[in-house]
Amino acid sequence: MTPAAQKFVLHWGEMGQAWGINRTMAQVHALLFIAPTALDAEEISSLLDVSRSNVSTSLRELITWGVVRRVHIIGDRRDRFEALKDVMDTFRVIMAERRRREMDPTISLLEHCIEEAEAGGDAEAYTREQLNKMLAFTKMVTDWYGHIENLPTPAMLRLFRGGTIIAKLFSKGGKGAKPGFAPEDSVEPLDEEEEAPPTPSRK
């Protein structure tokens, strides 16, 4: 690997650990992302200086996530692997998988905890209030991603690039606004004459 490629692979591995992902798994993904051609497990093992068994485990997990796929070349009996090359497609897949593995179970747990807290009567009033705030926020974030994940890539890029403008547009009270989040802030009803825009389908 070139020095630049090696630095990227090593950093991606460190970032993977910060996100709760196995370091080798993140490094395998980084290597396949920057590799101009599909690589087999032996090549990956050699380039990363990790065991074949570790590479195989990482590849299976990455395939499950949907960011790596197995490819075959005519005349070559070896399995080769390549990563999604489009950054936005990679973002969509990773976010959807993290939502399935992290956000959905968290929502289920919070709902269960709230049910238990409700059975505690007045003694758990404050606990219920805090859990309801967390549940409302988690649902809001999950719903927000649900709205944008099917946007066509050009529309999603415009959304990201317009972040500063959007933040200013939706600011309430400017610098003096009170920080925090209340469940009632998560949904604002539409005016009678307004209609919710249809969710665009992914192209």
pLDDT at 188: 44
Instruction: Give residue 139's pLDDT.
Output: 93
Q: How many CB atoms are closer than 10 A to CB 2?
A: 8
**pLDDT above 50 (res 54):** yes
Model pLDDT, residue 88: 85
Q: What angle do CA 103, 14, 79 make, to 5 degrees?
A: 85
Measured in whole angstroms, how far is the alpha carbon of residue 134 from the centre of its chain?
19
Residue pair 13/30 in contact by the 8 Å Cβ criterion: yes
Q: 3-class secondary structure for 105-156?
A: HHHHHHHHHHHHHHCCHHHHHHHHHHHHHHHHHHHHHHHHHHHHCCCCHHHH
C-alpha to C-alpha distances, 41 to 31, 50, 60, nearest whole angstrom: 12, 10, 11
- Across residues 184-194, what is the average pLDDT? 44
pLDDT band for position 197 (50/70/90)? very low
Q: What is the mean pLDDT of residues 111-134?
A: 92
d(CA 86, CA 44): 21
Using an 8 Å Cβ cutoff, are 31 and 44 in contact? yes
Q: What single-letter amino acid sits at 141?
A: V
Q: What is the pLDDT of residues 22-38, one digit of tens each?
A: 899 999 999 999 999 99
Q: Is the pLDDT of residue 145 over 60?
A: yes
Do residues 112 and 104 touch, judged by C-beta distance below 8 A?
no
pLDDT value for 159: 75
Give mean pLDDT, residues 88-96.
84
pLDDT in tens, 129-144: 999 999 999 999 888 8
Average pLDDT over residues 13-29: 89
Residue % of the chain over a pLDDT of 70:
82
Q: Is the pLDDT of residue 46 over 90?
A: yes
- Quick one: average pLDDT of 74-102? 87
User: Which region among 30-34, 58-62, 84-88, 180-184 has the lowest average model confidence (pLDDT)?
Assistant: 180-184
Question: pLDDT tier at 123 (50, 70, 90 boundaries)?
Answer: confident
Q: What is the DSSP letter of 177?
A: S
